[in-house]
Each structure stands twice: as C-alpha cells, then as structure tokens.
Structure 1
Amino acid sequence: MAQIVLFENIHPSAREVFTAAGLTDIATYSSALPSAEIFDALRGAELVGIRSRTHLDADLIGRLPALRAVGCFCIGTNQVDVNSAMLRGVPVFNAPFSNTRSVAELVLAEAILLLRRVPEKNNRVHLGHWDKSAAGAFEARGKTLGIVGYGNIGSQLSTLAESLGMRVIYHDVEAKLPLGNARPAGSLQDLLAQSDVVTLHVPGGKATENIINAQALAATKRGAILINASRGTVVDIAALHAAVQSGQIGGAALDVFPTEPKSVDEPLDSPLRGLLNVILTPHIGGSTQESQENIGREVAEKLVRFFQSGTTKGAVNFPELPYQDAGGNRRLLHVHRNLPGALGSLDNLLAEHGLNIVSQRLQTQGEIGYVITDVDGEVSDIVMAALRAHPITVRCDLV
C-alpha cells in the first residue's frame, strides 16, 4: 500500500514537496471516501493528508498501526480525533495561516455586496426588473465593522477594512494587540450593539456553539449585516432565519454550516435558502488557487520534516520539538506515557544495548512525552523491539 495517502483533491504543490524529499509512493483521491472504503485506502499508510470532509475518528485511527502523522490541508482539525491520535503517538498538523488572505478578502467583498444590496438587485435584474433605487444601500466607508475573534484572519480583515475607511472594533476572549486604529469592544454585546457589519472568526467547539443565538441577534444593531466564515456551529440558523425575515438583520453571508453536503450534487439543507439578502457559499473561504497552493506546500513540508527528522513544530496535539540537525548515526523518536522516570528508563535501556546518546530533546504535553534521541551505534531490530515492548512506550520509530 502507499506510504502517503492524500484525499479531497489536495493541491499538486503537496506532491511536489513529497517527491522533492524522495517520498514518491503516493496515492491520491479526488474526494473523501465513504466510511466503508476509507480503511482499505489507508491500510499501511504512514502519512495521511485530508481536508474538511474526511473524518478520522478514534476507531479508525486505532486500526492504523502504521500511521505516523496526519496533515489537515486546511485551518481546522475538528475532523480528526486529535486526542486519540496523540495517545497513539500520531501528531496532527494543519495550515493555520496559508488561507488567511483569501478568507479576509471574501468576507470584505461580501460586506460590500450586502451593504449595497447587490444580491437582491442582481436577482431582480435576472427577473427582468430595472430597480435603480438607492434605498437601503450604503457605502462601506464610515461604517463600523465588528470582528468577533481577532486572530490571524480577523486581524488581517481589520487592516483591509480600515483601508476602505471603516471603523473597526473587535472582541476576543484573549487580550490581543490591535492593528492600525482598531479598538477592542468592552464585550460581545457591546460589539453587537455598535456594529453595522458583524463578522465571525472564532474556533469551533462547545465554547463557541451558538454564540450568535436569538438573544445575541436581538442585541445586534437593527439592520446590521452578519457574516460567518468560521465554523457552522457558531450561529443558530433558525434564529438567524427569523431575524432576517423580521428585518432585525439586514443581510447575512454564510460560508459554513452546522451540517454541510458531502458531495457536489447533494443540496444544502437550510431555511436560509431563497432569502434574497443572504449569500450562501459552499465553504470556499480558503478556496483560491493561491491559498490552496500555499496550504499544500505548508502542510506537506511539516509532514516531511516530521517523517525525516521527528520535528513536531506546529503540531496541534503533540509536544512541539523544533528541527535540529542529527548528532549521531541514527535518530530515535520515542513517545511515552508522561510518568516519572520515563526518560531514565529509556536511557537505561539504550545503555544496556551499548548505544551512546549524542543529543536528546524532551517535551511533554498532557498524558504523553516525546523525546528525540540521537545515538551512536547500531540500532538493531532487537533494540527497537525492546524499546517498543517497554511498558512506558506509546510508540517508537527510527529515522
């Protein structure tokens, strides 16, 4: 079976990185596979690349003993049981920065289109109406943009919006240094009350589930625009539908949804379909040629560095160890349970087999520890078997 398996039409730049590193045993799939087929496709794979539609749950990860690392060729990693992967010694990498600009540009474009009521005007022209009225249409200049989540995308959107003359306020659960003239709002409610356009850039999970609900929408400035390009679970869709129909929300744009179609021909099931002042896009915030090329290269490079040297910098679920040139004949990658004496046990075992430690780096995270050890001497199959059989070992590989 293939050493590397890539799903969902990952950009060719990833293959270029792998082949340049001498990793040429690659299988590619243009889409996600049904759950009944994915195990056979992954059997024996060491590196796996996915996007948002391929799900790797605990059961599947547990049935893939050869799996060494997962690359999510996107920002999110919710489609992977990252904790189960960690407990099996499998780091998960993603691309938190490569599509930042693409998402920010889409959000700003949607804000302008909705402020000018372009979706409604466009539909009326297609139906044969020449409606030139300026009623309800506004410039972006001078309007207040409220950014919920001032991370990589939110902060870049902030600078782009300011260049149009917008006033920018933001809310984040962490203290963030503002860029340009942006200012933090006192609270989410304060931001909602002030903003002409509200845009969401927060992670998924229980902490952000339905943070934009009926109560939040009622607290929003009447006629404001709401844009969600973060996670589908952040907005209560039924509440948004009611707020748009009542005029409390003047327009909306959504690129993500609580439940998304799994194929091109499956329709989106949403009450928002058919509303003329709502833009619905099929999770394309990062879908530009530039961003996909950057993502392909970024994640593939992380996977190659791990596969060839054990580097885990940028892993979302794993102790992070940066790149360092090899200091001995061979390099051991040892993942162990994070218990007292773990490193001593490893070192004693190596000494028993006559291996001299040249350099060693250790980092722990939660229940596991990860140590890269460069040694002089022959690391035989007997040594590897002893390391893997030790009660404290989670996983041990040789590079």
Structure 2
Amino acid sequence: MHRPVLNAREYLGNELTSPRKIIESTLLVLGTGGIGREIARIGKEGFRTYNIGINRGGKPAEYFDEVHPTSRLLDVLPRADIVAIALPLNKHTRGLIGERELRALKRGAIVVNVGRGDVVKEEDLYRVLKERQDIRFGTDVWWVHDVHEEIPPRTPLTALPNFLGTPHIAGGAQREIAEYAMIRAVENVIRYLRGEMPMNRVNRDDYV
C-alpha cells in the first residue's frame, strides 16, 4: 500500500521511492500528435531529453530526434528511461502495450499514460508491475468495462506501491480548460462551414 516516507535514508535507499534522473534521459513518446509533441517539447526544452517518437508510419515530427513506426516499438522500448503514452484509442492501438512490451522496459523505467487506458492491457500491467517493482507506472486514464471507465480498476493495481493514478482530471476537469476545448471545437466547425481544412482530422476507418 502507498504510505508516506519521511526518513531521508529510507527514501533514498528504497527502489520504490528513490528519485530518478530525468535530465538528459531518453524519452519515448507513443503518439506524435498535439499532446505527444508538447510532451516532447517540454522534455527537450526543459530537461534536454533525447526524444524518440512512435507513430503508425514513422513520419518525422517536430521536437523528436528520431521517429519510428509502431512495428518497431519493441526495438526502441528497451532504450527509454521514460515512456509517455499519448495515443488515441482505436482498432490499431487497443491493447498495443501488453506483457511482452512491458517486460521489454529497461530497469527503472517510468511510464505515464495520458492517452487511453485500454491502450495498455490491464491484467498484463498488474502482473508485470507486481513482479517488477523497479518500473513506475502513472496514469490519468482508466480501463473501460460495460461502457464505463472504472475507477478503481478491476485489478488491484491501486494497491501496488509502484502504481500511481489520478481520476481522469488532466484534460477538461477545470472550467477554463473545458471552455478552451469548446472554443476550439466551435472554431473547427466554422472552418468546415467556410470550406477550409478542419484541424485535427481523424481517419474514420481507424475506429470502425
């Protein structure tokens, strides 16, 4: 179970709580869209990270030192100190991260999911985190069962000391964020009605 560690010697000597180096680390971002690029920008400008991106075709993207197609995910996972998942959920990404991918992580890796819960296989995640306490996993998104995002999840992930979750509050939970999203949505409708190219287009075939 999670508990505060207030003794400096215990804090620094425990693999579960000791600080991890971020400066000049290797950052792997799954998804090179708007959120993924912003993660890469903050890493590059704030922490001098070496940024590796993953997208479906390996198309280059701003703020990334190299980008690879999804088919090479297993090749690059062992290189990453930090993995950020910023993928939408569609038929190509559902269950993309399973036991094989999680076991490929290097020792001491940090994984953060801000995309969708079901990109990661819930049972596989629980099994690997329970065995490998060197991995730290944080998420703001959860798994959907019976059409609802369940918090807490069905597996006892929240009881693991190397798992940290927030209740899906990172995007839109605050009024100003929700208002900004609505304004951008209205702007996009206006662009469409004017015959202009809408922003953030998606391929319908990815979802049906």
Question: What TM-score, normalized by structure 1, do the two folds share?
Answer: 0.43
| Equivalent of 1:134 in 5, 12, 17 | 12
Q: Report the Cα offset of residue 191 of structure 1.
A: 1.9
**Equivalence for 1:293:** 179
CA distance in 2, matches of 1:181, 1:267: 33
Confirm or deny: 8 A CA contact 1:251 1:277 kept in the other structure: yes
Q: Report the Cα offset of residue 298 of structure 1.
A: 1.7
Confirm or deny: 8 A CA contact 1:148 1:154 kept in the other structure: yes
| Equivalent of 1:279 in 139, 144, 164 | 164
Q: Report the Cα offset of residue 185 of structure 1.
A: 4.4
Alignment of 1:303-382 (within 5 A): 303=189, 305=190, 313-314=197-198
Q: Report the Cα offset of residue 190 of structure 1.
A: 1.9
The 1:191/1:291 distance shift into structure 2, 3 A limit, reads farther
Tell me the alpha carbon deviations over residues 269-310 of structure 1, each in whole angstroms, 9 at most, x when there is no partner.
Answer: 33211222211112222134443221121223445x389x57
Tell me the alpha carbon deviations over residues 328-377 of structure 1, each in whole angstroms, 9 at most, x when there is no partner.
Answer: xxxxxxxxxxxxxxxxxxxxxxxxxxxxxxxxxxxxx99xxxxxxxxxxx
3-state DSSP class of the match of 2:4?
Answer: helix
3-state DSSP class of the match of 2:110?
Answer: strand
Q: Report the Cα offset of residue 238 of structure 1.
A: 1.0
**Equivalence for 1:124:** 4
Q: Report the Cα offset of residue 259 of structure 1.
A: 1.6
CA distance in 2, matches of 1:316, 1:182: 23
CA distance in 2, matches of 1:149, 1:156: 11
CA distance in 1, matches of 2:168, 2:121: 17
Alignment of 1:1-399 (within 5 A): 123-125=3-5, 129-132=6-9, 133-135=11-13, 136-163=18-45, 164-180=47-63, 182-185=65-68, 187-247=72-132, 250-259=135-144, 267-270=151-154, 271-286=156-171, 287-303=173-189, 305=190, 313-314=197-198
Confirm or deny: 8 A CA contact 2:51 2:65 kept in the other structure: yes
The 1:145/1:137 distance shift into structure 2, 3 A limit, reads same
3-state DSSP class of the match of 2:157?
Answer: coil
CA distance in 2, matches of 1:258, 1:284: 15
CA distance in 2, matches of 1:276, 1:203: 27
CA distance in 1, matches of 2:55, 2:138: 21
Confirm or deny: 8 A CA contact 1:124 1:130 kept in the other structure: no
Tell me the alpha carbon deviations over residues 97-119 of structure 1, each in whole angstroms, 9 at most, x when there is no partner.
Answer: xxxxxxxxxxxxxxxxxxxxxx9
Tell me the alpha carbon deviations over residues 61-107 of structure 1, each in whole angstroms, 9 at most, x when there is no partner.
Answer: xxxxxxxxxxxxxxxxxxxxxxxxxxxxxxxxxxxxxxxxxxxxxxx
Kindly provide the amino acid, as one letter, of the partner of residue 200 in structure 1: I
3-state DSSP class of the match of 2:89?
Answer: coil
Question: What TM-score, normalized by structure 2, do the two folds share?
Answer: 0.77
Structure ID, larger Rg: 1
CA distance in 2, matches of 1:224, 1:169: 15
3-state DSSP class of the match of 2:52?
Answer: strand
Moved over 6 A (4+): 315-318
Kindly provide the amino acid, as one letter, of the partner of residue 141 in structure 1: I
Q: Which runs of 5+ in 1 are unaligned?
A: 1-118, 319-364, 367-399
Q: Report the Cα offset of residue 162 of structure 1.
A: 1.2
Q: Which runs of 5+ in 2 are unaligned?
A: none
Confirm or deny: 8 A CA contact 1:148 1:202 kept in the other structure: yes
Confirm or deny: 8 A CA contact 1:217 1:249 kept in the other structure: no
Q: Percent identity?
A: 24
Tell me the alpha carbon deviations over residues 124-152 of structure 1, each in whole angstroms, 9 at most, x when there is no partner.
Answer: 24xxx534432342221122111111111
